[in-house]
Amino acid sequence: MLIRLGTTVSSLAITMFGLVLVTFFIGRVIPIDPVLTILGDHARPELVERLRMELGLDKPLPVQFWIYLKNLLQGDLGRSVMTTNRVVDDIRLYFPATVELGTVAMIFATVAGIPLGVLSAVRRNSALDQAVRVFSLVGHSIPIPVLGLGSLLVFYAWLGWAPGTGRVGVGYVGLTPSVTGFLTVDALIAGDTEVFWDAAAHLMLPAGVLAYFSMAYISRMTRAFMIDALAGEYVITARAKGLSPARVIWRHAFGNIAVRLVTVLALTYAGLLEGAVVTEMIFSWPGIGQYLTVSLLNADMNAVIGATLLVGFVYMLLNLFADAAYRILDPRV
């Protein structure tokens, strides 16, 4: 157990170091001067040189990386040029909004995608199967910008069912104290039902767009896994014993695909947390995706590198969760 734990920790450390190394050097070699971004293109040369020295950009790249690495080990990701705040503080402010959006979308996608995939496999080549496959193919093929803008056009502009963009209505901004960073949860803690329902209404449309895209993938993978499982000899034996169809499907067949499905769900969730960039921009959602995009457009490389490292760290944590779930679901692993 200790050897396995040491191997896991070493693997995480090496992977994170590689991510820091690649991200840092990409951020330094791209043709963007952070000094000119701060001072402007017409700043006096002496001011440019002085700020370059203060930021340590006059030193060789290996020295800059060593300084950045030491600061990173102390929890310091630098200061954002765009917001003038510490990048750590910005991430603490923006990331909960992305987690809230991605979690709700993941719940929707899982609750709908897995049953659809199972039913599609059980009734293979039926009308239901064909409908589910077309529905999934459309969801997996339409680009997120088209899906997001189309949903705004239909549900907000035409039907008036959705409240529009943003995380909450303008009249409710700043009314709820931030405790967890999740606006719906904070509204419930504060006992403010009006803010809760308004925040939930704003959450439904962007979460629905992400959920549809993810559900399409989950249902397709579930269907493929179930078709393979239903053809197994253990399923034929279970049916020959006279077990009910529901027990054969959910206990025997689905139980044997759970391990593979965990990987799909974990990576899908990670993709939602880092792939919501376009969705957050379309719906003006103040999450880490919007923060990363605006920072990149403003050449705020400390913020870009910090957000990228956060996304990579989330991927690694979810991979660890999937590995742990394997051992729980299948002790033979």
> What are the domain boundaries of the chain?
2-73, 94-329
Q: Would you say 105 and 270 are in contact if contact means Cβ atoms under 8 Å apart?
A: no
Which among 114, 218, 261 has a CA at the least distance from the CA of 122? 114
Is 165 within 8 Å of 171 (Cβ atoms)? no
pLDDT at 221: 93
Q: Tens place of pLDDT for every residue, the chain, 333 residues?
A: 788 878 888 888 898 899 889 988 887 777 777 777 777 777 888 888 888 888 777 888 899 899 889 999 898 898 888 888 999 999 999 999 999 999 999 999 999 999 999 999 999 989 999 999 998 888 888 888 899 999 999 999 999 899 988 999 888 888 889 899 999 999 999 999 999 999 999 999 999 999 998 999 999 999 999 999 998 888 888 888 888 888 899 888 898 898 889 889 988 998 888 767 788 889 999 999 889 888 888 878 889 889 988 988 888 888 888 888 877 777 766
Between CA 33 and CA 10 the distance in angstroms is: 35
Per-residue pLDDT tens for 97-138?
999 999 999 999 999 999 999 999 999 989 999 999 998 888
Structure letter (DSSP) for residue 171:
G
Give one word for 165, left, alpha or beta, with left for phi > 0 and alpha for psi -120 to 50. beta
Please state, as a whole number, how many other Cβ atoms lie within 10 Å of the Cβ of residue 169: 15
Taking the model in full, what pTM does it have? 0.88
Fold adopted by 94-329: MetI-like fold (1.10.3720)
Say if residues 136 and 219 touch (Cβ distance below 8 Å).
Answer: yes
Give the pLDDT confidence score for residue 82 in this predicted structure: 81
Per-residue burial over 299-322, b if 16 or more Cβ lie within 10 Å, else e, is bbbbbbbbbbbbbbebbeebbeeb
Residue 254 to residues 83, 113, 246, 262, Cα–Cα distance (Å): 49, 14, 10, 12
- Residue 117's Cβ-count burial label (10 Å; 0-12, 13-18, 19+) is buried
Pick the closest to residue 93 from 187, 178, 186 (CA basis).
178
Residues 6 or more apart in contact with residue 208 via CB below 8 angstroms? 105, 108, 151
What is the rounded radius of gyration, in angstroms, for the C-alpha atoms of the chain? 24
Position 333 scores a pLDDT of 63
* Residue 31: half-sphere exposure toward Cβ, Cα within 13 Å: 0
Helices assigned H by DSSP within 30-86 = 34-39, 45-54, 61-73
Q: Is 73 exposed, middle or buried (0-12, 13-18, 19+ CB in 10 A)?
A: exposed
